[in-house]
Chain A
Amino acid sequence: MSEGRNLLSVRGLNAWYGGGHALHGVDLDVHKGETVTLIGRNGVGKTTTLRAIMGIIAKRTGEVRFDGQDLMTVPLHRIAHRGIGFVPEERGIFATLTVEENLFLPPLIAKGGISIDEIYELFPNLKERRASAGIQLSGGEQQMLAIARILRSGVKLLLLDEPTEGLAPVIVQRIGEILRTVKARGMTVLLVEQNFQFAAKVADRFYLMDQGLVVESFPTSELLARQAKLNEFLGV
């Protein structure tokens, strides 16, 4: 695994909530252009891993490198400017802002983001509803908006936390198409997902997490062979 291909590299990442030790030394790598999926039971620390990478959790130790550069000492509001976008599990749509204001909220941080015209082509619903308040959107529309506003900003790496959670099959399918489009444009994605079928269609590799640690890593081609064991492990 050559360093040059590595966009994100995480070593020995620990994180705490108050006194609770949530991550116990997470190691993972995401290469340029890859889509990597983090799976694991509820509460094992998938969301915490993304939050610790972004620096949202202040109490953390270990090493996080992006494009070879240390991120641990970068202030929270400078992280995005290095080229990382975050779509939180709760989506984080601003209720008092319109759809359009939500879309334009993340500043443009690099050229090569998806233009607003393309965004509206990819997400026709958002165009229709661009003057509506964020609070009026359905769950599916909120997820689309949460993804769209990050794509517009031109980040190189997208951290995406359970984008399909609680959404109807047609919308899940639509999100899958969008992720494939994004990938075709060379964007790198670290995805947290419980829905295997969905993840299998977009991911190159998987990391399995348990109790605050990454315990296994395998390519998507091995998913089928491991399915039975994984199902047992994940209790699904």
Chain B
Amino acid sequence: MVLIFGIPLQALLGQLLVGLINGSFYAMLSLGLAVIFGLLRIINFAHGALYMLGAFVGYLLLVYFSIGFWPSLILAPLAVGLFGIIIERVALSRLYDLDHLYGLLFTFGLALVIEGTFRYYFGASGQPYAMPALLSSGTNLGFMFLPNYRVFIVVASLVVCIATWFLIEKTRLGAYLRAATENPTLVRVFGINVPLLLTVTYGLGAALAGLAGILAAPIYQVSPLMGTNIVIVVFAVVVVGGMGSIGGAIIMGYMLGIFEGLTKVFYPEASNIVIFVIMAIVLLIRPAGLFGKIT
């Protein structure tokens, strides 16, 4: 058996893969948070609940309408994005002129309401969601077994993150978003409908969370609390990457996921807190985050 630092190679690679999978979710979720924070200046505490909604949309579509994973991969983000648009129009848009604390408090309350509602109807325990048949097998690499669905998650997450990065950094719409982040009034003066941009941005961030949710359904259980568990870690990722930094959120999402996985191999006792320890250290040394600009 091959050993690295006294650890079997298989265990190491296994945890690396787990870390990469977790990192894929961290990246997608922190990306949405960063996009929302960058433009709306709202710390979206409902992000975990939106992620959970994405998984539940897939689950409910399957149970009540026999609609499987692949259509849900489109429908779940659409539904959650639409929900986000309604939330932004009805509530968040009324809070922009107030202290940012109100946005945080509102989304925190919203998360509690959504999660409480689902807990009431579905209980706290998870519901299984079957892996799509197309991806249910795996590949034997000789030194380890590689489940196809996990590879799919990593690839899907990379594609989504790169596409979102491209949209924001390289397109006209992205230029509007970045400009509105700097000076929303002047962007409006130029004739661009900034309130609509804000709505679209929140919808996009929500859709990203919904997509992460439906992708998570087959490997984690579909549970009302799945969002609560992950959102705290995702906030730490965003803080480490730098609030509002798109690239920082993506890179730190993957890196911290992998870091967490490796900690499970070398010092399992610390694996649950390693990300928060890193966050504390980063906050002490670079309060604006590793990729953030100090303003």
- Which one of A81, A88, A92 contacts B191 once the chains associate, using CB atoms below 8 Å? A81
- Which one of B181, B182, B185, B192 contacts A56 once the chains associate, using CB atoms below 8 Å? B185
On whether the beta carbons of A77 and B188 are closer than 8 Å, the reply is: yes
Which residues 163-194 of B sit at the A interface, judged by CB distance below 8 A? Answer: 172, 175-176, 178-179, 181-183, 185-194
Residues on the B chain within 8 Å of A80, using CB: 189-191
On whether the beta carbons of B191 and A101 are closer than 8 Å, the reply is: no
Once the chains are docked, how many angstroms separate the CA of A54 from the CA of B178? 22
- Which one of A78, A86, A94 contacts B183 once the chains associate, using CB atoms below 8 Å? A94
On whether the beta carbons of A96 and B182 are closer than 8 Å, the reply is: yes
Residues on the B chain within 8 Å of A54, using CB: 189
Interface size on A, residues (CB 8 A): 22
Residues on the A chain within 8 Å of B181, using CB: 96
On whether the beta carbons of A78 and B191 are closer than 8 Å, the reply is: yes
Interface size on B, residues (CB 8 A): 19
Once the chains are docked, how many angstroms separate the CA of A104 from the CA of B170? 13
Interface flags for A62-84 (1: CB within 8 Å of B; 0: not) read 00000000000000111111000
Which residues 191-213 of B sit at the A interface, judged by CB distance below 8 A? Answer: 191-195
CB distance from A57 to the nearest CB of B (A): 10
- Which one of B183, B186, B192 contacts A107 once the chains associate, using CB atoms below 8 Å? B192
Once the chains are docked, how many angstroms separate the CA of A81 from the CA of B190? 8
Max chain A Cβ within 10 angstroms of own Cβ: one of B172, B181, B191: B191
Once the chains are docked, how many angstroms separate the CA of A79 from the CA of B187? 12
Which residues 125-169 of A sit at the B interface, judged by CB distance below 8 A? Answer: 153
Residues on the B chain within 8 Å of A88, using CB: 186
On whether the beta carbons of B179 and A97 are closer than 8 Å, the reply is: yes
* Residue A106 at the chain B interface, CB threshold 8 Å: yes
Residues on the A chain within 8 Å of B191, using CB: 77-81, 106-107, 109, 153
Residues on the B chain within 8 Å of A107, using CB: 190-192
- Which one of A95, A96, A97, A105 contacts B190 once the chains associate, using CB atoms below 8 Å? A105
Residues on the A chain within 8 Å of B186, using CB: 88, 92
Residue on A with the closest CB to B194?
Answer: A77
CB distance from B200 to the nearest CB of A (A): 14
Max chain A Cβ within 10 angstroms of own Cβ: one of B172, B187, B190: B190
Once the chains are docked, how many angstroms separate the CA of A80 from the CA of B186? 11
| 5 tightest Cβ-Cβ pairs between the two chains A and B | A80-B191, A106-B190, A77-B188, A101-B175, A76-B188
Chain B interface residues (CB < 8 Å from chain A):
172, 175-176, 178-179, 181-183, 185-195
Having A77-B195, A96-B181, A96-B182, one finds 9 other A-B pairs with CB under 8 Å, namely A76-B188, A77-B188, A77-B189, A77-B191, A77-B192, A95-B182, A105-B176, A105-B190, A153-B191
Chain A interface residues (CB < 8 Å from chain B):
54, 56, 76-81, 86, 88, 92, 94-97, 101, 104-107, 109, 153
